[in-house]
Amino acid sequence: MAETMDMEGGSHLTKGRLEALSDGIFAFAMTLLVIGIAIPDKPDVIQSNAYALQTLVTLYSAFFHYVLAFLILGAFWLSQHQQFHSVRVPDKTFVWINLVTLMFVALLPFSTSFSGVFTDASMGAMVFEINLFAIGMGMTSQWWYATTESRLIESALKPPYVKRVLMGNLVVPTVSVICILFALTGSLWSSALYMTLPVVDYLVGRQYSK
């Protein structure tokens, strides 16, 4: 029988339904990301190889942020499933933390498109980086809430594993803060620091797997 959570008014919410909602929003956001890569209106298009190549080159920032956002969202989605696998029954607070996190997930297509348009303004990159920071902190908050005093998780989960997942969730927010600090200096390529995420995540996982 599916595990349920009592809500006000006597209704129930299964963990499976919360996972389905999360999956749907992640899939929707990841699909919408590509819409931010906008080509010129058809009347303005010049039918030549040179113009086509020039158009692709001018879209470099949009493509770059699309790839970053898609891969990072994919990592967040995997982390979300890892968390849900360990949670026995989500309570009302956990659900609201998850909903706020999903709100920022749904916002990412906008911030990705925004950063792709304002390529010559550091504010464009900062909007994207703040959005990723918010998602990462949401993921961290729901894991912290669920694991504090084994509130929502199986007591059999080992503390080193709980800490490793927590520190892994903090990787994106930490890198985001560094990106934002670089953007505040006027750097237009602060988001490129996200390319270090695989290495940082590997090092953190290695450190806390001991």
* Rounded Cα–Cα distance for residues 45 and 138 (Å): 42
**Contact call for residues 84 and 144 (beta carbons, < 8 A):** no
91 neighbors 138 (Cβ within 8 angstroms): no
Predicted local distance difference test score (pLDDT) of residue 198: 93
Residue 13 pairs in a beta bridge with 5
β-pair partners for 14: 4
108 domain residue, yes or no? yes
CA atoms of 183 and 122, how far apart (whole Å): 5
pLDDT band at 188 (very low <50, low <70, confident <90, very high): confident
pLDDT of residue 40: 66
In a domain, 41, yes or no: yes
Percent with pLDDT over 70 in the chain: 90
Q: Is residue 1 part of a domain?
A: no
Rounded percentage of the chain residues whose pLDDT exceeds 90? 51
**C-alpha closest to that of 136 among 88, 204, 85, 89:** 204
Between 7-16, 90-99, 111-120, 131-140, the lowest mean confidence (pLDDT) is in 7-16
> Could you tell me if residue 7 is inside a domain?
no
Provide the pLDDT for residue 42: 61
* Number of domains composing the chain: 1
The answer to whether position 6 is within a domain reads no
Write out pLDDT tens, residues 61-111. Answer: 888 889 999 999 999 999 999 888 888 888 899 999 999 999 999 999 999
In whole angstroms, give the CA distance from residue 28 to residue 12.
Answer: 25
Structural domain contains residue 140 = yes
Question: Residue 141 and residue 97: Cα distance in Å, rounded?
Answer: 7
The parent domain of residue 36 ranges over 12-207
With CA atoms as reference, report the closest residue to 166 among 202, 140, 148: 140
Check residue 90 and give its pLDDT.
87
Q: What confidence score (pLDDT) does residue 142 get?
A: 94
Residue 99: inside a domain, yes or no? Answer: yes
Which residues are CB-neighbours of 53 under 8 A, at least 6 positions away?
A: none
Q: Please, are residues 197 and 72 in contact by the beta-carbon 8 Å criterion? A: yes
In a domain, residue 124? The reply is yes
Pick the residue with more confidence: 201 or 4? 201
Read off the pLDDT of residues 165-185 as tens digits, 9 standing for 90 and up.
Answer: 999 999 999 999 999 999 999
* Span 144-154, pLDDT tens digits: 999 988 888 87
**Stretch 48-52: mean pLDDT:** 79
Decide if 157 contacts 90 (C-beta within 8 A). no
Asked if pLDDT for residue 58 goes beyond 90, the answer is no
- The set of residues, in sequence order, having a beta carbon less than 8 Å from that of 187 and lying 6+ positions away, is 122, 125
Secondary structure class of 90 (helix, strand, coil):
coil
Does residue 108 or residue 57 have the better pLDDT?
108
Count CB-CB contacts under 10 A for residue 162: 19
Q: What is the pLDDT of residue 45?
A: 66
Encoding tokens for residue 186?
A: 């006027």
State the pLDDT at residue 109.
94
Q: Determine contact, residues 65/128, Cβ cutoff 8 Å.
A: yes
- 13-23 residue pLDDT tens: 778 888 999 99
**53-57, 101-105, 162-166: least confident range:** 53-57
pLDDT given for residue 36 in this prediction: 77
